[in-house]
Structure 1
Amino acid sequence: MATIIICILLAVIVFLGIRSYRKKMVSGCCGSDSDAAPKKVRVEDQNLSHYPYEKVLKIDGMTCRNCFTHVQNALNSLDGVFSKADLDKKSAKVYMKEEIPDQLLRKAVLGAGYTVMSVSETRHRG
């Protein structure tokens, strides 16, 4: 019985992997089917001294500039947040005017189609 369950799980994983690979081949690495880059969400207040809280998110799935923009837009859409994603480090620094729970940051990134692997370096600059 256990062997059957393991075989079914492996079949599901293989199916999802093939589906994901097919999607990337058809529509690009981040689901963008046009060459136009996504429009960036602009944060009016970019003065870091106005953001006393800082967190670093390690993000899985960012592979191109469009991915980078999707992640940054998702975070910058949150009220009181200014973020800077780093494609090479596959991370994003999140500067906040008020401390935002990790779960809300994770949810924003997940909504953009990416996964937060860890949240660290919480700082309060007061």
Structure 2
Amino acid sequence: MATGIICIIILMACIFGIKSYAKRLSHGCCGGGGETIKKIRPADKQKSHYPHTYKLEIEGMTCSNCSTRIENAFNTREGCYARADSGKRTATLHTKHPLTESEAREIVKKAGYRVTSFQTIT
């Protein structure tokens, strides 16, 4: 009897796992529904115009839509140019004006992710 109950529990866990995986394949990890999010480009893409550079490690960023959301969160701000890499779960941020760690964390948080490391490069 106990063995039967355990087998049913394991079978149900497998079914839920397969359903979750199938949903992720069809809709993307962040619920993009298979559609690609439009990238917002910064007005100035010349890196030499940005004297401040930061490297952020971001938790929860797992696909290209996630990367685009992070980039858009920064690129919509005046004087910011961001590039995110979902594979490395990092973002490189170039700014014309200094940015505090708390400001960067808040921008990422509003996009739905969490900064695990903030490093000033220059």
- With the length of structure 1 as denominator, give the TM-score of the two structures: 0.73
Aligned to 1:62: 61
Deviation at 1:31, TM superposition (A): 2.5
Aligned to 2:104: 105
Aligned pairs for 1:1-126 within 5 A:
25=23, 27-33=27-33, 35-123=34-122
- 2: CA distance between counterparts of 1:91 and 1:42? 18
Structure 2 SS opposite 1:106? helix
Q: Give the partner amino acid of 2:28.
A: G
User: Over aligned residues, Cα RMSD in angstroms?
Assistant: 2.1
Q: Give the partner amino acid of 1:103.
A: S
Deviation at 1:92, TM superposition (A): 0.4
Q: Is the 8 A contact 2:57 2:115 kept in 1?
A: yes
Runs of 5+ consecutive residues of structure 1 not aligned to the other structure:
1-21
Deviation at 1:28, TM superposition (A): 3.3
Q: Give the partner amino acid of 2:61.
A: M
Deviation at 1:99, TM superposition (A): 0.5
1:16-72 CA-partner distances (Å, limit 9, x unpaired): xxxxxx6x9475311223x22011111120001100000000000111111111111
Deviation at 1:117, TM superposition (A): 0.4
Report the number of matched residues.
102
- With the length of structure 2 as denominator, give the TM-score of the two structures: 0.75
Question: Rg bigger for which structure?
Answer: 2
- 2: CA distance between counterparts of 1:111 and 1:65? 18
